[in-house]
Amino acid sequence: MHEDVLDPGRAAAAGAALGQLACAPPERGLLISTSRLVEFNVRATVLLAPGLFRLDLTPQEETLGVLTRPLTSHPVRWRAEQSTWDGYRDAGGVAPLELHALFELPDGPLTAWLHILSFTDRDAAAVHFVAKAELRVPAP
């Protein structure tokens, strides 16, 4: 199970149309990285970890819709660093968003740390997203 979901080749292939990059970090795990320009009111997949989750973002002028779609039937718990969310409406800067997940897989847990930067371009009615996900097997 871990071998499948941490396979960078699989992640890169699944996210190929999205321009998603994937690689294995020095320690065991998976890094996926991408960027996307999304128009207001459009739902776009920003990160795709096959067999684990898909992150869809729907930017609006004053709110950001965040959907973590599970791609596994195994339990997963998500939490957000809510203190970092207030910058979304501020078009003058880059707003960071952090999400953490814990996947309870049959061969042991897997953690995910998602870091998403957004920059709202109101003149273009769109938001630039730069996102990465780090998937790791936690130390016992």
Partner 1 sequence: MRRVSFRVPAEEKEELLDALMPLLPAGVREGAAERGEIELTTVAAAAPERGLLEAAAGRTLAGWREEEVPADWRARRARFGGGAFLVAGRVLVRAPWDPAPSDPAVLDLVLERGGGGFGSGSHPTTRMCLALLLELEPRGAAADLGCGLGTLAIAAARLGWAPVVAVDRMDGAVAAARANGERNGVEVDWRVGDLEADPVPLAELILVNAPPPVQARVAAALGDAAPGDAAPGGGATVRHVVASGVVPGELAAVVDGYAAAGWAVTERREADGWAAARLEPAGA
Nearer to partner 1, 79 or 122 (CB): 122
Contact map string, positions 54 to 93, toward partner 1, x by CB under 8 A: x-x---xxxx-----x-x-----------------xxxx-
Handedness of CA 5, 34, 129, 28 (dihedral sign): positive
Residue 26 CB, shortest distance to partner 1, in Å, is 28
Neighbouring C-alpha atoms within 13 Å toward the C-beta of 69 = 14
Token pair belonging to 57: 């973002």
Count residues contacting partner 1 (CB under 8 A)?
31
Rounded Cα–Cα distance for residues 35 and 96 (Å):
14
Binding footprint of partner 1 on the chain (CB under 8 A): 14-15, 17-19, 36, 38-45, 48, 54, 56, 60-63, 69, 71, 89-92, 122, 124-126
